[in-house]
A and B are shown apart, each in its own frame.
Chain A
Amino acid sequence: MLRKIYVGLLFLALSGLAGAVGADELSARQVVEQFQNQLIDVMKRGKELGFKGRYDALEAAVKNSHDLPKIARIVVGKEWEGFTPEQQARFEEEFSRLSISAYAHNFKEYTGESFNFVSEEETGRGGVVIHSTLSIPGEKDVRFGYMMKKKDEGWRIINIIADGVSDLALKRSEYTSVLSRHGFDGLIAKITERIESYEKQ
């Protein structure tokens, strides 16, 4: 009996401890690693989850690790200022949906991939880059650099550089080009078209 109480107390103490750790802010590295673990987990359950299941599983994971509102702003460059508040909200929403859909589409199965932490580097103006590699059996490692910025909620990914190719720079060129050629409605149409084609596969 006494033993039971003791175990119960120990459990309580442990869970209290876990709660305390959880309440503490995660470091930049922890944010990245948590996200990578969630990705691997979704990949492992990829087939049974299906696209919808992967999307739902990744939505919180992506939103809690990426600064999607800021990324959305940056990719349209100074065009952002020309948007009406409704357009800004609409774009941010569609952009988030596309980003999560792309993850759900590209990480759909597990073939022994693993992420490995390499180093942490401080950049100017309070940013941090987490360097890690994605090992895929039978292929060359892919080097990932996660550029992080600190927000009120904690560290958030603002750019991913894969083998030297900056996702943010790539998207910015693409989005500003589409905006200047097809306008706001054209951009939204293209984004929804992408999302639909991801959903189908």
Chain B
Amino acid sequence: MLDINTQSSTNILLGKVLLIASIISLLPGCASTEIRPDQPSSASVTIDPYEDFNRSMYGFNMGLDKYLLKPVADGYKFITPRFMQTGVSNFFNNLKGINVVINDMLQGKFEQGAADTGRFLTNTTIGIGGFVDVASELGLQSNVEDFGQTLAVWGVNQGPYLVLPIMGPTTLRDGTASLFDRAANPGSYAPMVGVLEGINDRANADGALNFINEAALDPYVFTRESFLQYRSNLVKDGLLDSKEHDFDINDAVDEAIAQPGKSPAPTADKHGKLSGAAKPSKTLAQGSDAFDDMSKSFERAEYQFEKASAKVDQLSKKKRRKH
């Protein structure tokens, strides 16, 4: 619904700067973003440690959008017939298809990878270079996969939230990974194609941006939260983890009713690693349950051991008496 991801645009040079910055800070960045539930309302502190910088970047982007990107996108929408706009969107989506297949494979989703390969080949040939999305008509749904999601599946934390000039919202992990995605996109190697893609992306994001302007009390936080949740949902392949949401809600409800205290962060990746393409919520819940069970069984074992050694002591005393 809120396809904020489409906001991302093209700036390879900027990406290189980001790469250097992120390689330097990748590890400490990851370490600092783990959310400790005992911190009071620390969501923004841990997820968004550079909030002041991000907010000013957000303001910059919004200004740029208002005076440059939106007028250009509006102009594009005005002069381009509707079917051409759809065609252009299809074309760029299809170019991403190669990268989708690569990341399917990297995440071990071979079946989906095969389907996405079929999708790409169908649209590139029958769909006239990708301008017509024939595959969707044939029932081959498009999947959104990128290297950021692959890294997440491999266990890399998302790192701090970042707002980059022009490119918009991202995280350290996803921003770094987007360089890989660019490299695996043939469109990146043709001059000026990136500009058209950027205009197309902006035009497509129009509805989402308008919605944010209408609905948000704080558009910056609204964008951040929906972006992070959207990404987290993609990583989990849309498996609605109502259990995880429910924990948050229940905690929040308890907290609202009882007293101030714990305030768990509602957003993505708070449990750190996600294991594979399996249901993360289940593994997480099972994980904590398993941990509880484990510590309980340790206690039981300790108790049994004490009981046993007490018996041994008694036995040895008896034996001594007999002697």
CA of A175 to CA of B230, assembled, Å: 19
Chain B 24-55 interface 0/1 with A at a Cβ cutoff of 8 Å (1 = within): 00000000000000001101100000000000
Please state if A147 and B242 are interface contacts (CB–CB under 8 Å): yes
B265 to A: closest C-beta gap in Å: 9
Measured between beta carbons, the chain B residues less than 8 angstroms from A34 are none
Q: B215 an interface residue at 8 Å Cβ cutoff?
A: yes
Query: Is residue A168 contacting chain B, with contact meaning CB distance below 8 A?
Result: yes
Collect the chain A residues with CB atoms within 8 Å of residue B243's CB: 123-124
Q: Mark B233-254, 1 if CB is under 8 A from A, else 0.
A: 1101010101101111110110
Q: Is the CB of B1 within 8 A of A173?
A: no
Q: Say yes or no: B1 contacts A174, CB within 8 Å.
A: no
Contact A169 B217 (CB under 8 A): no
Is residue A176 within 8 Å, beta carbon to beta carbon, of the partner chain?
A: yes
Return chain B residues, CB-CB under 8 Å to A57.
none
B214 within 8 A of A: yes
Known: A165-B230, A173-B43. A198 touches B214 (CB 8 A): yes
Query: A161-185: contact bitstring with B at CB < 8 Å (1 yes, 0 no)?
Result: 1111110111011111110010000
Instruction: State the Cβ distance, B36 to closest chain A Cβ, in Å.
Output: 17
Say which size band chain A's interface belongs to.
Answer: 35 or more
Q: Is the CB of A173 within 8 A of B225?
A: yes
Q: Which B residue's beta carbon lies closest to that of A187?
A: B217
Q: Inside 8 A of A105's CB, which chain B residues have their CB?
A: 214
Tell me if B242 and A161 are in contact (CB < 8 A): yes
Contact in complex: A166, B252 (CB < 8 Å):
no
Partner of A145, one of B1, B225, B242, B263: B242
Interface residues as binary, A114-133 with B (CB distance below 8 Å gives 1, 0 otherwise): 00000001011101010100
Given contacts A74-B249, A77-B263, A173-B43, contact A129 B1 (CB under 8 A): no
The minimal Cβ–Cβ distance linking B7 to chain A, given in whole angstroms, is 15
A159 and B214 contacting across the interface, CB-CB below 8 Å: no
Min CB–CB distance A125 → chain B (angstroms): 5
Please tell me which one of the listed residues B216, B245, B263 contacts residue A174 in the complex, with CB atoms under 8 A apart: B216
Chain B binding surface, main DSSP class: helix
State in angstroms the CA–CA spacing of A76 and B58 once bound together.
Answer: 24
Total inter-chain residue pairs, C-beta < 8 Å: 134
Q: Is the CB of A164 within 8 A of B232?
A: yes
Nearest B residue to A175 via CB reads: B217
B200 vs chain A, min Cβ distance (A): 17
**Nearest CB to that of A121 among chain B residues?**
B242
The interface on chain B, measured as residues whose beta carbon lies within 8 A of the other chain's beta carbons, has a size of: 43
Inter-chain contact B41/A194, CB cutoff 8 Å: no
CB A160 to nearest CB in B, in angstroms, measures 10
Contact call A165/B233, Cβ cutoff below 8 A:
yes
Give A136-170 interface residues, CB cut-off 8 Å to B.
Answer: 142-143, 145, 147, 149, 158-159, 161-166, 168-170
Q: Tell me if B261 and A78 are in contact (CB < 8 A).
A: yes
Contact A161 B261 (CB under 8 A): no
Instruction: Contacts A162-B1, A174-B216, A177-B218 given; indicate if A124 touches B246 (C-beta within 8 A).
Output: yes
How many Å from the CB of A166 to the closest CB on chain B?
A: 5
User: With an 8 A cutoff between CB atoms, is A190 at the interface?
Assistant: yes
B260 within 8 A of A: yes
Q: Is A61 an interface residue (CB 8 A)?
A: no
Counting CB contacts under 8 A, is B93 at the interface? no
B246 touches A164 (CB 8 A): no
Q: Is the CB of A168 within 8 A of B217?
A: no
If the complex has contacts A78-B261, A159-B245, are A173 and B217 also in contact, measured as CB distance less than 8 A?
no
Task: Provide the bound-state CA to CA distance between A70 and B253, in Å.
Answer: 8
B249 near A158 (CB under 8 angstroms)?
Answer: yes
Task: Enumerate chain A residues within 8 angstroms of B236, measured Cβ to Cβ.
Answer: 164
A-side contacts of B216, CB under 8 Å: 174
B1:A165 contact, CB within 8 angstroms: yes
User: Is A102 touching B215 in the complex (CB atoms < 8 A)?
Assistant: yes
In the bound complex, residues from chain B placing their C-beta under 8 Å from that of A166 are 229, 245, 248, 266
- A60 and B267 CA atoms in complex are apart in Å by 32
Q: For the complex, is B302 an interface residue (Cβ under 8 Å from A)?
A: no
Does B85 interact with chain A (Cβ within 8 Å)? no
Q: Are B222 and A172 in contact (CB under 8 A)?
A: no
Please measure, in the bound complex, the distance between the C-alpha atom of A92 and the C-alpha atom of B267, giving whole angstroms: 24
What are 17 sample pairs from A and B whose C-beta atoms fall under 8 A apart? A70-B256, A77-B41, A77-B252, A77-B255, A77-B263, A78-B256, A125-B250, A127-B246, A147-B246, A164-B230, A169-B225, A169-B245, A169-B248, A169-B267, A173-B43, A173-B266, A175-B217
List the 8 closest A-B pairs by CB distance, nearest first: A164-B233, A169-B266, A78-B260, A73-B256, A123-B246, A129-B242, A165-B229, A74-B252
Please give 18 more A-B residue pairs, beta carbons under 8 A apart, in addition to A124-B250, A163-B233.
Answer: A102-B215, A129-B246, A143-B238, A143-B240, A145-B240, A145-B242, A147-B246, A158-B253, A164-B230, A164-B238, A168-B249, A169-B266, A169-B267, A170-B229, A173-B43, A173-B224, A178-B217, A178-B221
